[in-house]
Structure 1
């Protein structure tokens, strides 16, 4: 379900306390839009690497939510569970999770004997700790929805409207989807921004080797090509698409994505390869953040706060 950019909430909604474990660019504006209070939290690591957390906000009887983007999740997962469990212990009316980026969606099937299907285990454990979940464009490949693995109410927000608003300000753009998987985002952004688009074919030859084949580009050579994808991780797909665009005479190439993980310095490698600009949403903090998804989160979070408040009053 898509949200619009005109997200708003009512002051009659339950007033939440909003916590974050790591600085997140959208936490403060989201808390303000929800008329929420900033959760006060002390955190650090002991010398042996174990987490220390101390909640200094009074949370008894209050709805609480935690904003936590879960890229590179292994170091974030335990503190997140510790915080959620302690909020419950201290009497929070409800505990919700806003995960702008939701990890452990890749391994959704057992390809080889003995493999761990991490997506199901991760979803089961998060579902035990939280009352609801709001996330942005999770990588749903073989799952039709989060409901297949999460047992709590979950709402998916699409980042396309935020990217479309940013790209709609640019003239003479050609949107480029590297492969069929990207078509859902490219088509929506094209519809919202009014720009034409093309979709390539991707042939994967391993985790870090892909081949992109693009349709003819002769009529678009005077435009700025903007490669669209949901996640930039290793950047190999984007790099292959960039090289194909350059080989076909496109002089100006940019890239826009919902989530910018940029593993192993992928952002620097893409810029060095001739990319003119990187544009990402603020689901994961990065210097390329130029599209704000915060307004898209307000309505689904408010809806969950209302639902939890109504359930508590019955």
Structure 2
């Protein structure tokens, strides 16, 4: 008997929910959402299943968090005994400490909130810094942190990646992703150093001896939003002599203006995993997530 007996999705992520349900070979149900003129949400769900996966990526999260709370209450009331939240992109993970007086530790607040609603969590490349595992976020709840590296590596393999390609990450936080992409392909890897002065004021420097001259470079990062980190990293790679550049991101959060800038910078459209619905989606995650759900906690 399958551990989970149904997948629930939401309108903006219905395709991802259906792909996951197909991989699990269980029914898929899509919630109905109504937004009142004052901004409140009404969530309607079809009949409940006993052990449910709720699928929703938490990019642009504020309304989604309230709607997840409402959905979980409906499923519990209708008899669900186990709820697993699959959030390919998990929000509010970056604020894991008080950096200035008067700030919240948002990671702890949201972790406690969701931990009261769901029994298990599956996320992909959560934006963790000083927190080492999701178990520290969702205390007392089994949590699985998946990597998008396999999807990126598989695409590079399928495209016939050149053996002298270098996998480059913009900073030390990208090192695990970079190594997980490069290692199975037998490729060289390096990471730069990022100086961030503001949300859109970023400089990436690469090692002075970076062996990029005449070699193809694939830049990989977990999140692409403003694009400034990637643009700076690309400029540094070109200055070091890279013969060509490709860009891969696990989570694509950038808008049309940033997409146009990727084109004008000669980088083409980045390729992203399909956890966050986006025009750049090209790297499937459903099988990876389904395998994680099938594994014992």
* TM superposition score normalised by structure 2: 0.91
Which has the larger displacement, 77-86 or 43-52? 43-52
| Aligned equivalent of 2:155 | 166
The answer (yes or no) to whether the contact 2:252–2:278 under 8 Å persists in 1 is yes
> Does 2:235 correspond to 1:240?
no
Rounded to whole Å, the distance in 2 between the matches of 1:296 and 1:132 is: 16
* 1-structure distance, mates of 2:132, 2:30: 37
CA offset at residue 216 of structure 1? 5.0
Instruction: Tell me if structure 1 keeps the 8 A contact 2:93–2:127.
Output: yes
Identify the residue that residue 43 of structure 2 maps to in structure 1: 53
Deviation at 1:136, TM superposition (A): 0.5
1:269 aligns with 2:258: no
Give me the whole-angstrom Cα distance separating, in 2, the residues matched to 1:265 and 1:191.
34
Q: Which runs of 5 or more residues in structure 2 are unaligned?
A: none
Q: Does 1:212 align with 2:204?
A: yes
Determine if contact 2:5/2:51 at 8 Å carries over to the other structure. yes
Give the CA deviation at 1:264.
7.5
1:302 is matched with which residue?
A: 294
Distance in 1, matches of 2:288 and 2:295, equals 12
Residues matched between the structures, number: 292
| Cα shift at 1:14 | 3.4
- 2-structure distance, mates of 1:98, 1:165: 22
Q: TM-score, normalised by structure 1?
A: 0.87
- Aligned residue in 2 for 1:68: 56
User: Structure 1 stretches of 5 or more lacking a match?
Assistant: 1-11, 308-314
Write the distance in 1 (CA, Å) between the matches of 2:84 and 2:4. Answer: 13
Question: 1:229 maps to which residue?
Answer: 221
Q: CA offsets per residue over residues 79-104 of structure 1, 9 Å max, x none?
A: 11100111001111211100010010
Q: Which has the higher contact order (CA 8 A, sep 6+)?
A: 1
In structure 2, relative to structure 1, the CA distance for the partners of 1:20 and 1:199 (3 Å cut) is same
The 4+ residue runs of structure 1 with deviation greater than 4 A are: 216-219
Deviations 1:238-293 (A, max 9, x none): 11011122333334211111111115833322222221341111111112111111
